[in-house]
Chain A
Amino acid sequence: MIYMERVAIIGVGQTKYEHGKQGNFAELVFEATSKALQDAGITRDDIDNVVTVSSDFWDGRTISSMAVSDASGAFDRDITTVEGDGTFGALYGMMRILSGSFGVTIVASHHKGSESNMNIITNTAFDPLVERKLGLDAVSSAAMQARRYMSKYGLSEEQFALVSVKNHGNAMRNPLAFLPMEITVEDVMNSRKVADPLKVLDCSPVTDGACTLILAAERQAKKLTRPAKCVWMKGVGHCSDAYRLGDRDLADTRALKDAAKRAYAMAGIDDPRRQIDVAEVYDAFSYMEPLWLEGLGICDDGKGCEYTERGYFEFGGKLPVNVSGGRLSSNPVQVAGLAGMAECVLQLRGEAEERQLDGAKVALVHGINGMCGQSHCVWILGK
């Protein structure tokens, strides 16, 4: 690979994640962005461009980025908008810096799902002529994926429930998380069935919140902020699978494998099982965490649940996954992956307080776009 300038995350800011937050989504963006600037120790004057991450569907507003341009500090700046998960917004922010056209970059994402209708909005992600009429949405399609995963590898609902127990438990150490809970596998199994085999506690909650990252090229990062604040964007990869669920084996993770391969190659990771210290993996539904960990090459296909049972991914385990509590504890959709990146920045800096892991040096963050993980973005961050 040719020499490429290094890009750092120099500031992170997050709101508390809640349902039914007061204030409109622009106010959430203002809070997260102000905190990120403060965290980096810089002002808006140091910024030359902004990437917002938003969705017209969730915001109920066309050109939804327009509503947050003031709040994200974009007045008289170069601004653009990525629609999808925050990890893709960070990707575009990094590419804008690497292009040589920009220096310090704000990546700001928001979500106010409590004002929206999840079923209708995610139903519109399906083909309007056939699949949409069936009433498919994020939850019912995820249920099909969970069922396929179970039948392919002989997995049980109890094994998935364990992921929810772990992640809600992790959220107990995260003051920003929406649903910190000490629960048992029985609690998950006894919770209301939403779409077989998924129960309420297998599903992430609709959550409001905003997260902002501040990115900078190495030269500026070193000038503007202390080395302790800098976390480096070492590798990234993204890739999309086929659109129609019927064109995919929903328990196959080929697109994620491709994205991970790109990210690992760029970051010089040749043995992810040994080289990664902490991971934030997209867990909007309990079964997704083991499935995606397989795609990420952390364990063999079909072995994710076994690893979960062995405590491999627990806080204090060999590879702690979703120490923040994950999406199962707070799922502000467009923000989800960016919040994962923020969590890993805090871990790598040693600023994660009660949930701080010892000696975390390399972190993996994963976000998805589309239904049942059609498209994936994988990040490797490092100190």
Chain B
Amino acid sequence: MGKRVGIIGVGQTHHAAKRLDASGVELIAEAVTRALDDAELTIKDIDAVVIGNMDHFENINYVDMWAIDGLGAFMKPVFKVTTGGTTGTTVGACGYYQAASGLFDVVLAVGWEKNSESDTQAAIATCASPILERDAFAGAIGPLATEYSMYMKAFGATEEDSAIVAARDRNNALNNPYAHSRQAVTVEDVMNSPMLSYPIKFLDMCPRSDGSCAVIFASEEKAKKLCPKPAWVHTSVVRHDYTHFGDLEWTFMPTLERASARAYKLAGITDPLNEFDVAELYLPASTCGVKWMDSLWFCDHGGAPELIRKGTFNMDGQLPINPSGGVISTNPIGATALIRIAEGAWQIMGKSGARQIENVRKALCTGFGGCSWSDVMILGADLP
């Protein structure tokens, strides 16, 4: 059997639309240095390194090799994992499994992206089959607009419901010094922002950011020795769907339903809405912050709008979601899902500053990407 694993340090850059002051490697170094400082370690304490991003954004082949100096991975074991939008959780899961495997005790997991150097939409469009689907599914907004339209029709959700989520996350970002976009907005501001693809408006949608995030995973024995209060990994689950967008089920979010159901089972969660103290969710658009609440089993299908309207997921609500401001405030793509894990870990470690939720025992973190793929990681203050 593998070892239990805790997160013992977290670092992230100050994310921005354009970090003209830093190269990609320097962004990585910034996050890694901060994670080491957070854990009170030096690079000598790191046994192995894993990194992830998406090739087509910065046009750098063998990123794991190119980033050696920023990673501190000179003469260390290192390799790269990458899965599109879920890259951050893929990197996090890899750090977890490496430390659990017994091959390495302290593992540094790093995600990054410098989107200001890329044509993000053009790069994303190449994920679809060049023969069948590339023309129809060009970019990230269209599919999300489609799925929320269907949800609105099926269950009476509204554009205001997603605007509530957008205002919530964007105002939460005011408490997060690392967030890229920090602006006080009202539901009206969201509703009045320019339409991108009905029903998704400008303030509903995530930006693209420059930034990096580093998370240090350690096996149980090491974690206990090195960290007064590790965030223990309770489980990590990934579910993918079909290869072609046209084969997907759009009214619901089957991969998130399956991934979270499996993760809850493994972590012994039976009542997610009450058992989690905080959730950092990869919501690429505020519309997902409505519809996917069903998929996370917080309510029955169609129940999400009522929970949103009641303020269930506000900072002072039953289950605060995205105290960090979430993905619509910060989106350095290869790091985005790892930031969910990093923020969840900090909440458990009590290091979240102005966005800290009191006494967090269990945190839910998710990743989203690819062809409607879902990743789930559950963290806890107690050993699993």
Contact = CB atoms under 8 A, between A and B. Distances in A.
A94 B66 CA distance: 25
A370 B82 contact: no
Contacts, number: 186
Interface in B47-102: 54-56, 59-69, 73-85, 90, 93-94, 96-98, 100-102
A241 B64 contact: no
A50 to B, nearest CB: 9
A76 interface: yes
B78 to A, nearest CB: 5
A78 to B, nearest CB: 5
Contacts of B2: 98-101
Nearest to B243: A70
A65 B83 CA distance: 7
Contact of A83 (B82, B241, B370): B82
Interface in B112-170: 123-124, 126-127, 129-130
B79 to A, nearest CB: 5
A369 B237 CA distance: 28
A290 B90 CA distance: 36
B242 A70 contact: yes
A375 B68 CA distance: 10
B355 to A, nearest CB: 30
A98 B101 contact: yes
Nearest to A100: B2
Contacts of A236: 103
A125 B76 contact: no
Interface stretch (A52-60, A142-150, A173-181, A353-361): A52-60
A47 to B, nearest CB: 13
B68 A243 contact: yes
Q: What is the size category of the interface that chain A forms with chain B? A: 35 or more
B236 interface: yes
B65 A56 contact: no
A84 B64 contact: yes
A98 B102 contact: yes
Interface in A226-264: 236-243, 254-255, 258-259, 262
B1 interface: yes
A191 B76 CA distance: 39
B103 A95 contact: yes
Nearest to B74: A242
A153 interface: no
B284 to A, nearest CB: 14
Interface string A93-120: 0111011110000000000000000000
A67 interface: yes
Contact of B59 (A60, A61, A128, A259): A128
A66 B248 CA distance: 13
A41 to B, nearest CB: 26
B361 interface: no
A95 B3 CA distance: 11
Contacts of A74: 240
B239 interface: yes
B238 A82 contact: no
A77 B69 CA distance: 35
B72 to A, nearest CB: 11
Contacts of B69: 242-243
Contact of B94 (A79, A92, A98): A92
Contacts of B96: 99
Contacts of A171: none
A377 B65 CA distance: 13
Given A62-B124, A240-B65, A243-B68, A26 B243 contact: yes
Q: Give the residue among B66, B103, B238 with the most A Cβ atoms within 10 A.
A: B103
B55 A125 contact: no
A91 B77 CA distance: 11
A127 interface: yes
Interface string A199-237: 000000000000000000000000000000000000011
A243 B65 contact: yes
B258 interface: yes
B369 interface: yes
A62 B84 contact: yes
Contacts of B370: 63, 65-66
A238 B243 contact: no
Q: Give the residue among B81, B94, B100, B126 with the most A Cβ atoms within 10 A.
A: B81
B66 A62 contact: no
B209 to A, nearest CB: 18
A55 B56 CA distance: 10
Interface in A347-383: 369-371, 374-375, 377
B240 A77 contact: yes
Contacts of B214: none
Nearest to B117: A128
Q: Give the residue among B62, B80, B93, B369 with the most A Cβ atoms within 10 A.
A: B62
B371 interface: yes
Interface in A246-284: 254-255, 258-259, 262
Given A69-B240, A240-B65, A61 B79 contact: no
B124 to A, nearest CB: 6
Interface of A: 2, 4-5, 26, 55-57, 60-63, 65-71, 74-84, 88, 91-92, 94-96, 98-101, 121-122, 124-125, 127-128, 236-243, 254-255, 258-259, 262, 369-371, 374-375, 377
Given A63-B370, A78-B239, A369-B64, 19 more contacts: A57-B61, A60-B126, A61-B126, A70-B242, A76-B239, A76-B240, A76-B241, A80-B93, A81-B82, A94-B101, A124-B59, A125-B62, A125-B65, A128-B60, A239-B75, A239-B77, A240-B75, A243-B69, A369-B79
9 contacts: A56-B56, A63-B369, A66-B243, A99-B97, A99-B98, A237-B77, A242-B69, A243-B68, A375-B79
Can you list the 10 inter-chain pairs with the closest CB atoms, starting with the nearest?
Answer: A100-B2, A63-B84, A370-B65, A99-B100, A98-B101, A56-B55, A99-B2, A95-B101, A124-B61, A125-B61
